Amino acid sequence: MTQPQSGKTSPASTEKNSVHAFLTSSKDADNPYVEHLTQQINRLAEIGRALSEEHDLNTLLEKICDEVRKFTYADACTLYIAKENQLHIRIFQNHTMGIRMGGKTGEEINMPPVDLVESNVSAYVALKGVSVNIPDVYDTDLFDFTGPKEFDQDTGYHSTSMLVCPMRNHENDIIGVLQLVNARNLGTGEIIPFSPDYVSLTESLASQAAVSITNARLINDMEHLFESFAEVMATAIDEKSPITGGHIRRVANLTMVMAEELHESNNPPFRDIHFTPEKFHELRVASWMHDIGKITTPVEIIEKSKKLETIFDRVQFVDLRMQFIIQNVQLEAVQTQLKLTRDGEPPEKIKKLEDTTVKTVQELKEIREFILKCNEPSEFLEDEYIERLQEIAKKTYQDEQGIDQTLLTPDELKNLSIRKGCINEQERQIMKNHAQITLDMLAKIPFTKKLKNIPNFAGAHHECISGLGYPLGLQGEEIPFEGKLMAVTDIAEALTARDRPYKEVMPLEQVYTILRKMVDRNELDRDLVEFFINEKVYETYQVKYETPDSAQPVKTSPKNKKDP
């Protein structure tokens, strides 16, 4: 029975290992094997540098297996990641069988995880933290090799030598296992046992890989944490008002759909627009945070759907007031009619009083209906409406204490006279201030280098090409491209939203007409608006996010359709 070779190296023991002793022997200085091992050690340093530069976890895992197979001349490699008392296969490669599974280029892995029981060699290595070198898996009973033998039986492959090394990170935790199968002779290509000298070098490479994996995980976790934080903040703002609930999410999704369409376009003027995965991530976070300043905007302004609305619609006060006046007119008329009857006045005089009362009540009812109509938001309130409101506001009546009051208060007149929409100028300034607050809030966040443009992108979605936008009054090329893009998607979402009680749902053709009018007023970028319309970006967004089977949010990534 062949015994497995196991070992564990550390920087302190490097001076004692056979590789170092062999390389420092002057007698063997010209030995080709010495030269080969020297090259391997240099290669080990190069691999360490390459692994430290890669932060995409799937790419990193695949690169680890590729490099360790080249390094040890192994025919096959399996990379396990430890998770919840099991080893999960993340990469499986076999050169002879032409198998590549996992990583960026391999097929999906559907193999079951390995339980941490010592009878399994990979689990034993993970539990004990030592390497195991098996010259021939068919000539040992130390471990259960049912899995490799069943693979051989099913595929015709023959597993012989095996080297299994723990992946130990900087905190001395075992985060995974590297399992190499069938070392090959450098000259003849025949299958041989893994050299004992390779154990130390492979352990060193495995530890470098473990540190790189841990770093990549930390970076990915931090990015995911920050993006999740941005989504949570956006969700909280959306949920603050059911009227605008979902606005930020929809803008973020629509923005990413348009960015992907721009990235894939080969038509001018966007042929040279490219988004790397990092730029997609930066834009996605910026779009989630573009309205973060609305956390300070009063709910009654966000939810204002009628001109007289604050916490509730004050038109109810006006309506009660009008009913009170009408009832008083009718009551006074009845009292006067009774007096005239008792005084024996002629019927003609009583009839004239009745006609006058009916006419007065009808006029008051018309005023009431007119005020109710003016309370509704409109595209534009004509001058004659405002003039009539001013005349109505001059009319007086006596309250219950007999004090003269105007039919409309100054504040009611101001709000009913709003020409467009339902918020007055003071409220509009409060709403607009969210853009400046967004900038102020984002300025306090120490963004990483990859996310440094988020404040510029998020804070520019209300800027206009003409320079008349806000909060900074940027114009033309001063506005970042991503800010111009988000301005289009933000307005498009607002126009197409189905949850706004103060407006009807607009058909897309009407939305496109409004967007083009904004271009004519030099508010939006013409090329981006035409791209949005002509490339049917909104329809693509609807298919991706508004169909029953849509998953949200979809993580958008470049598809590299453009020429490099």
Q: Are 407 and 435 in the same domain?
A: no
Number of H helices and number of E strands within the chain?
19, 11
In terms of Cβ atoms closer than 10 Å to its own Cβ (0-12, 13-18, 19+), residue 524 is: buried
- Same domain? For 412 and 430 the reply is no
**For residue 230, is it within any domain?**
no
* 561 in any annotated domain: no
DSSP 193: P
What is the pLDDT, as a whole number, of residue 24? 47
Same domain, 270 and 320: no
Which DSSP helix (H) or strand (E) runs through 175? Answer: strand 174-184
Q: Report whether 412 contacts 318 (CB < 8 A).
A: yes
Which pLDDT score, from 0 to 100, does residue 557 have?
39
Number of domains, the chain: 3
Asked whether the beta carbons of 90 and 81 are under 8 A apart, the reply is: yes
Q: Based on the fold, state whether residues 486 and 514 are members of the same structural domain.
A: yes
User: Do 531 and 262 meet the contact criterion of CB atoms below 8 Å apart?
Assistant: yes
- Where a domain ends, among 422, 447, 481? 422
Same domain, yes or no, for 185 and 319?
Answer: no
CATH code of the domain in which 510 resides: 1.10.3210.10
Same domain, 403 and 436: no
Q: What is the pLDDT of residue 392?
A: 94
pLDDT at residue number 95: 94
Rg for the chain, CA atoms, rounded: 38
Cα–Cα distance measured from residue 176 to residue 186, given in angstroms and rounded to the nearest whole number: 28
Same domain, 34 and 118: yes
CATH number at residue 144: 3.30.450.40
SS3 101: strand
Domain termination residue (choose one: 385, 404, 422): 422
Is there a domain that residue 405 lies in? yes
Distance CA 174, CA 72 (A): 21
- Residue 514 CB coordination number (10 Å): 13
Q: How far apart (Å, rounded) are the C-alpha atoms in residues 326 and 397?
A: 10
Please state the pTM of the whole predicted model: 0.64
Strands (E), 384-539: 396-398, 404-406
Residue 159 counted as domain residue: yes
Instruction: Clarify whether residues 38 and 175 are in a common domain.
Output: yes
- State the pLDDT at residue 157: 96
Q: Torsions phi, psi of 25, nearest 5?
A: -80, 115
Q: Is residue 560 in a domain?
A: no
Q: What is residue 371's predicted lDDT score, i.e. its pLDDT?
A: 94
| 556 domain-assigned | no
**What stretches in the chain show pLDDT beneath 70?**
1-37, 39-41, 43-55, 242-245, 499-503, 547-564
Same domain for 143 and 15: yes
Q: What is the pLDDT of residue 340?
A: 87
Residues 366, 463 within the same domain: no
- Asked whether 251 and 287 are in contact (CB, 8 A), the reply is yes
Pair 350, 252 in one domain: no
Last residue of one domain, picked from the residues 363, 397, 422: 422
What pLDDT is stored for residue 368 in this prediction? 93
Domain that holds residue 391: 315-422
Q: Which two tokens stand for residue 14?
A: 């490097």
**Together in a domain, 29 and 161:** yes
